Amino acid sequence: MLKITGLSFAYDKDSVLDDINFSVDKGEHLGIMGESGCGKSTLLQLVYGSLQPAQGDVYWGRKQVKGPLYKLVPGESYMKYMSQGFDLMGATTVSENISEYLSVFYPKELKERTEELLEIIEMKRFAKTKVRHLSIGQQQRVALARALAQKPEVLLLDEPFSHIDNFRKNSLRRNLFNYLKEEEITCLTATHDRNDILPFADRVLVLKDRQVLAEEPILEMYKNPGNLYIASLFGEANLVPINIIKSYADTKRKIIVYAHEFKVSRNSGLPVFVKKTYPMGSHYLVEGYTEEQIIYFHSERDMEIETRVFLNISLETINQRLKL
């Protein structure tokens, strides 16, 4: 088990993380989300040991991860950290980068392992290409394979797919995270993209204002976000008074409604006027307004500006959110 207790850190006098506590079981995948600057990358660097915490400890089982005050070279043999900097050798080939830390005394195993990783990152035809001739997205894929080469027990990923094109990104996610599950490699993925973790992570930890705002199984958090900030990490969301959605409701409480959860009607529901539409391919994201607020919802068709439509939400969703 990876265990983090009382972790705090500041750059100069600016506190970034304060009293962070959580644990991750062997083979578990924890997603880490939050707005830019909330400390996601800093947290991974603290876990890896490349930053020295002001307070707190990091343990993998009984082994304590030591920071730079205690180690000249940060990191532990059982842990790999893929940063946004990649740290590749540009003058050598893709295969040479991947196999750098594999033993040359076992050439057959080295070749098989390198080919396995090339398959995972879908770059077999670039095996002999020098890294400096690759695109930044291809370099990011090589960095992934390089981090996996020695089969770490713990893998730390910092925005691991940020430079990879959508054409390749989805299959690469499946390849990587299915492999990690099969090998029971503990993984922490810091990301701003819900698609990096929503289908793959077991739990998600949300950072805000230097602290852990929420930590739950990822699908539970998605279905029942505790507030608008959390919901916005998963998609376009609204905070609306329950009594304007259902006029018979006797409560002034507000509930979170994702844009896709509204159903558009022509004759009954919450009246909304169309302000702007955004084509999203499979649907339109519509920015509407009432007397009280702006509301975002999905529509299967485009809409004229100032058209009045009515929005409804299922009773099941209402009841689910009112339980929060």
pLDDT per residue as tens digits for the range 104-144: 677 888 889 999 999 999 999 999 999 999 999 999 999 99
- β-pairing, 308-312 vs 270-279, is antiparallel
For the stretch 154-193, pLDDT in tens is: 999 999 999 998 888 999 999 999 999 999 999 999 999 9
Span 43-49, average pLDDT: 96
Mean pLDDT over each residue of the chain, to the nearest integer: 91
Evaluate whether 136 touches 90 at the Cβ level (below 8 Å): no
Handedness of CA 160, 162, 167, 170 (dihedral sign): positive
Neighbours of 181 (CB within 10 A): 15
Q: What is the pLDDT of residue 104?
A: 64
* Residue in 249, 246, 277 with CA at minimum distance from that of residue 259: 277
The radius of gyration of the chain's CA atoms, rounded to the nearest angstrom, is: 23
CB-based contacts of 238, cutoff 8 Å, min separation 6: 228, 256, 257, 258, 259, 293, 295, 296, 297
- Whether this model's pTM surpasses 0.75: yes
**CA distance linking residue 96 with residue 117, whole number of Å:** 12
For the stretch 225-258, pLDDT in tens is: 989 999 999 999 999 988 777 766 666 788 999 9
Is 80 exceeded by the pLDDT of residue 203?
yes
- Partnered with residue 20 across adjacent β-strands are 7
Question: Is 236-322 CATH 2.40.50.140?
Answer: yes
Evaluate whether 276 touches 305 at the Cβ level (below 8 Å): yes
Domains of the chain, by residue range, sit at: 2-226, 236-322
Evaluate whether 240 touches 231 at the Cβ level (below 8 Å): no
Is 80 exceeded by the pLDDT of residue 320?
yes
Neighbours of 26 (CB within 10 A): 13
Neighbours of 130 (CB within 10 A): 15
Angle between helices 107-120 and 136-148 (to 10 degrees): 130
φ, ψ of residue 230 to 5 degrees: the values are -65, -45
Check if 2-226 and 236-322 are the same fold.
no
The per-residue DSSP string of 88-101 comes to --TTSBHHHHHTTT
Angle between helices 166-182 and 136-148 (to 10 degrees): 0
The CATH superfamily assigned to 2-226 is P-loop containing nucleotide triphosphate hydrolases (3.40.50.300)
For the stretch 60-93, pLDDT in tens is: 999 999 988 888 888 888 999 998 877 888 889 9
Span 195-206, average pLDDT: 96
